[in-house]
Chain A
Amino acid sequence: MKGMSVIVKTISRILAGFIFLYGSYIILHGHLTPGGGFAGGVIIAASFILLVLSFGAAEIKEKSSYTFSSIFESLGGLMFLILALLGLFAGTFFFTNIISKGAPLKLLSAGIIPLANIAIGMKVGAGLLSIFLALAASHYIMKE
């Protein structure tokens, strides 16, 4: 897969970071506004997919992107599991919200829910990115 023309490249250069920031905003405000880990994670994956599509699969270092996305996916899953186990370590149940709730309607509130959102976002984004790389990037799959 070759890259596209200079116009597409220039625009996607500017937009990819903005899309990443928007996805992060959706994840971090998941407990206050619509959105959350699922939506934000997919948006972050979309920002990387935009770069891959516009610059072409030959441009990216495929091996290291696979390694990165697997590391992030495992990290997300591990973080979610640790957050769930925190309640068990504190002497209550699995998935207890033990961190203080904070003031409502503020960004830093709701205990473990924002952290769990971040974990879910990392997991979903990295997982979908590696699925996309496997489906669309060329070298990994076939040598026709």
Chain B
Amino acid sequence: MIEIYLLVIAMLAAAIVAIEIKDLLASAVSMGIVGFSVAIMFILVQAPDLAIVQIVVEILTVVFFAATILRTTHTDTTIQKGIQREGIFPVIAFFIFGTLVTVLAIYALKDLPRFGMPIMKVAEHYIVHGLNQTGATNIVAAIILDYRGYDTFGEAVVLFTSVLGVLTILRVKGRK
């Protein structure tokens, strides 16, 4: 349990560094630290599938960010000391929205089951009958590819659309 608390603290610290630091490359690397601590926490809450995907996807995310930063610029020129006149409105907006989100989230968290004691009504059926009905011993694979195949299909469509979007945005000139 204690290791989850420590990792949460490390993750929050790295997140603040990633938002606040001036060098954009260092910012991307700090975001990588956040992602890797998320991956370690996935292992600690017994989700190895998620941990594998998170680690690999995190590496690719940092590579994509690095490619973008090499294409554009290295330093964040918008950071300056003190609060300017034009910078005060976003801060007020953040305070309003941040407190709103926090209060509402904590209010909603009261309805959730306590940490470590989930309600598993549907999952019980999948766990007990999963091996007989699908033949897969990895219950997560059985759910994403058999019980909830539609979900995965929609995901494939979204990924296809995003690839299409990237190639369309970045192409040199339109076809005549």
B75 within 8 A of A: no
Pairwise interchain contact A110-B156, C-beta atoms closer than 8 A: no
Pairwise interchain contact A95-B144, C-beta atoms closer than 8 A: no
Pairwise interchain contact B145-A117, C-beta atoms closer than 8 A: yes
Pairwise interchain contact A39-B138, C-beta atoms closer than 8 A: no
Instruction: Classify the secondary structure of A's interface with B.
Output: helix
Q: How many residues of B contact A (CB 8 A)?
A: 41
Tally A-B pairs: CB < 8 A. Answer: 135
Q: A117 contacts which chain B residues (CB < 8 A)?
A: 141, 145
- A residues 44-66 with Cβ under 8 Å of B? 45-46, 49
**Among B11-19, B78-86, B163-171, the stretch in contact with A:** B163-171
Query: How far is B64's CA from A143's CA once the two chains are assembled, in angstroms?
Result: 20
Q: A105 contacts which chain B residues (CB < 8 A)?
A: 137
**Among B52-60, B91-99, B107-115, B117-125, the stretch in contact with A:** B52-60
| Set A84, A109, A140: member contacting B135, Cβ < 8 A | A109
Pairwise interchain contact B170-A135, C-beta atoms closer than 8 A: yes
- A residues 22-73 with Cβ under 8 Å of B? 26, 30-39, 42-43, 45-46, 49, 73
Q: Give residues in A with beta carbon < 8 Å to B.
A: 26, 30-39, 42-43, 45-46, 49, 73, 76-77, 80-81, 84, 94-95, 97, 101-102, 104-105, 109-113, 116-117, 120, 123-124, 127-128, 130-132, 134-136, 140-143
10 pairs of A and B residues whose beta carbons are closest in the complex: A101-B135, A34-B48, A95-B149, A110-B135, A31-B136, A136-B67, A110-B136, A42-B56, A39-B52, A127-B163
Q: Give residues in B with beta carbon < 8 Å to A.
A: 48-49, 51-53, 56-57, 59-60, 63-64, 67-68, 71, 131, 133-138, 140-142, 144-146, 149-150, 152-153, 156, 159-160, 162-163, 166-167, 170-172
A36-B49, A116-B145, A135-B170 given; name 18 further pairs at CB < 8 Å: A31-B141, A32-B138, A34-B48, A39-B53, A46-B56, A73-B163, A97-B133, A97-B135, A101-B135, A109-B136, A110-B135, A110-B142, A113-B141, A127-B160, A132-B60, A141-B170, A142-B172, A143-B172
Pull 12 A–B residue pairs with CB atoms less than 8 Å apart, ordered by A: A36-B140, A42-B57, A101-B134, A109-B135, A111-B134, A120-B156, A127-B162, A131-B162, A132-B60, A134-B166, A135-B170, A142-B172
